[in-house]
Chains A and B, each alone.
Chain A
Amino acid sequence: MISRSDIRAEARRLTGFFQAAGALPVEADILQPADTLLDLYGEDIRARAYVTHDPLRGELMLRPDFTVPVVLHHMQNGKDEARYTYMGEVFRQQAFDPSRPSEYVQTGYELFSSGELAAADAEVFALFQEVLSPLGLRAATGDIGILMAAVRGLATSEARKRALQRHIWRPRRFRALLDRYGGKKPTPVARKALLQAVAEGKNVLADSAPHIGLRDVEEIEARIRVLVQDAAEPPISPGEAEMLDEILNLRETAPMVLERLRDLSVDLAALAPAVEQFARRLDALALQGVDADSLEFEGSYGRTTMEYYDGFVFGFYAADRPDLPAVATGGRYDALTGMLRRKDNTGSFAAVGGVIRPELVLELKRALA
């Protein structure tokens, strides 16, 4: 049995390692304002986090992770470049798997840097690999940025690209949209009837029920215009859809993947910047002493873990313990910082980091001993 004090000691050891690498220790409240997290993550976070209520402060959440409070801390700190480390409990509801804990300690490292992105990605990955190296873990990596670039490069309307981008983290809806845009699925009956009526010059709104609710007539008309434009859009070609599938299904060592992606970017020029970013990252990893040649890469990795990962993503797993969740996960989340600064419209900044579960580190260490 691993005691709580053992876990905290291990967490301190890990944060000590990150401090030695230049990180400032940072604390975060356990009770976080719910509205920021809900606005960012949507309704799903309610199913994962504990929501509670304060008579004066309204809805609060038991800290489901450190990412948001650390980003907010950095925004107040005002510096361009900074490294942070933290440790503490996070709380997650478990509605499906009673064996998973509802409360566990996390240790993390976050790097905010306006410098070279590849170098920052490599720095974070190399630190995690180093501190976890005695455990002999399997590293998985991916790059959501490549997928996003592939969608941006499709020969289709901006509206369709935006819709696909929005659902990169929801594979099922992404697939449904891609099938519809590719003409694989017929237009729904009601949509056909609506488009027909509009084409015949009928005022489709005049015959409808009385208007109720906040969504006004102008918004309904705007969406009908979007639907009419979309119906005139030629289908996404089977070749392009196959290319997206090929990227999603990539599962090879990083150099092989790089070669394949360079081939693909001959036909899809929009892919090139993301592929070159990937190449620079592999070089930066090699400079940090990581054996980039044998690094595993999965095209779909990170798609379902966190909505705002939008570049390099990684995880460390105990290969002979498939029952355990990832020992560590991380990645680049520039998009999240942009969402948090949406209100004052100051744009996103570069952010990459990751978390380790000290309890799992201890459990694996003891199994090795």
Chain B
Amino acid sequence: MTVKLGIPSKGRLMEKTFDWFGKHGVTLRRTGSEREYSGAVADIENVELVLLSAGEIPRELAAGRIHLGVTGTDLVRERLALWDAQVSELIPMGFGHADLVLAVPACWVDVDTLDDLDAVAAQFRDRHGFRLRIATKYHRLIRDFLRQNGVADYQLVDSQGATEGTVKNGTAEAIADITSTGETLRANHLRLLSDGLVLRSQATLFSTRSETLNEEDRATLRAFVARLDPAGNG
């Protein structure tokens, strides 16, 4: 058997992951053509590189089909119930920073906190006869956050992209999405709630907690992680 390392197959996240491993003395490279999703880990025996969608890495780690994986903390917490029983967070990698935030129309001058959002949700439901809609793709994280904070009378509507546009398009009253600079929010006339930070996310190296490796592979995994994080302070 081999230890399988899953990394994002596309874009800047993939490039930065390659760079990060390079800086830590491990050369990852793609094999085959530019369009083929396959890769290799140089310098280390018995570690295989798997390229896959960042969104699928949490599920594959939980199932033990890959043993190490690079993805955002937001995706792990959103997609896995009891995530810390299924995967271990090994090393925060210092890139791919993004905040999951709640935002409302900037013209809502009366709304700045979750307390306001909750009051407005009650007002909105009375007036319009349905619950205030929050557009997001992070259903679990947002629902848990709003429940913990006692916000009622809202509903989540699914939005898999261009979420910032939903308010102007009339399909939602507020949004919850990932932002790094807040530029897109501002451009769409939205504003963060002052206590609406749900999660700070960054690219992170995770390992599986499922017991699919034999003793020899576990030793390989430990040696590999020790090389990436010699101080063991990840």
Contacts and interface: CB of A to CB of B under 8 A. Distances in A.
A344 to B, nearest CB: 13
A215 B105 contact: yes
Interface in A183-198: 188, 190-191, 194
A366 interface: no
Interface stretch (B32-40, B151-159, B226-234): B151-159
A131 interface: no
Interface in A213-245: 213-215, 219-220, 222-224, 227
A214 B107 contact: no
Contacts of B168: 212-213
A38 B130 CA distance: 10
A227 B108 CA distance: 13
Given A173-B118, A190-B112, A219-B123, A210 B152 contact: no
A220 B109 contact: yes
B107 A210 contact: yes
A44 interface: yes
A163 B151 CA distance: 12
Contact of B107 (A96, A163, A205): A205
A98 to B, nearest CB: 8
B43 interface: no
Contact of B110 (A38, A42, A220): A220
A167 interface: yes
Nearest to A191: B112
Contacts of B50: none
B162 interface: no
B122 A43 contact: no
B11 interface: no
A368 interface: no
A112 to B, nearest CB: 26
B12 interface: no
A176 B115 contact: yes
Contact of B189 (A167, A209, A215): A209
Contacts of A166: 122, 152
B122 A172 contact: no
A170 interface: yes
Contact of B81 (A95, A174, A214): A95
B150 A167 contact: yes
Contacts of B112: 188, 190-191, 194
A47 interface: yes
Contacts of B153: 42
A79 interface: no
A42 B123 contact: no
A212 B167 contact: yes
B74 interface: no
Interface string B102-132: 0001111110110110111011100110110
Contacts of B173: 213-215
A174 B94 CA distance: 39
A192 B176 CA distance: 26
Contacts of A96: 81-82
Contacts of B127: 219
Interface in B133-161: 139-140, 143-144, 146-156
B107 A38 contact: no
Nearest to B156: A43
Nearest to B139: A46
Contact of B82 (A95, A176, A204, A205): A95
Nearest to A204: B109
30 contacts: A39-B130, A39-B131, A42-B131, A43-B131, A43-B143, A44-B143, A46-B139, A95-B140, A98-B82, A166-B152, A172-B150, A173-B150, A177-B115, A190-B112, A191-B113, A194-B110, A210-B107, A211-B105, A211-B107, A212-B105, A212-B107, A212-B167, A212-B189, A213-B105, A214-B128, A215-B105, A220-B107, A223-B119, A223-B123, A227-B110
Given A173-B151, A222-B123, 20 more contacts: A39-B130, A43-B146, A43-B155, A47-B144, A95-B81, A166-B122, A170-B152, A173-B152, A176-B115, A190-B112, A191-B113, A194-B109, A194-B110, A209-B191, A213-B105, A213-B173, A220-B107, A223-B119, A223-B123, A224-B110
Interface of A: 38-39, 42-44, 46-47, 95-96, 98, 163, 166-167, 170, 172-174, 176-177, 180, 188, 190-191, 194, 204-205, 208-215, 219-220, 222-224, 227
Interface of B: 81-82, 105-110, 112-113, 115-116, 118-120, 122-124, 127-128, 130-131, 139-140, 143-144, 146-156, 167-168, 170, 172-173, 189, 191, 194
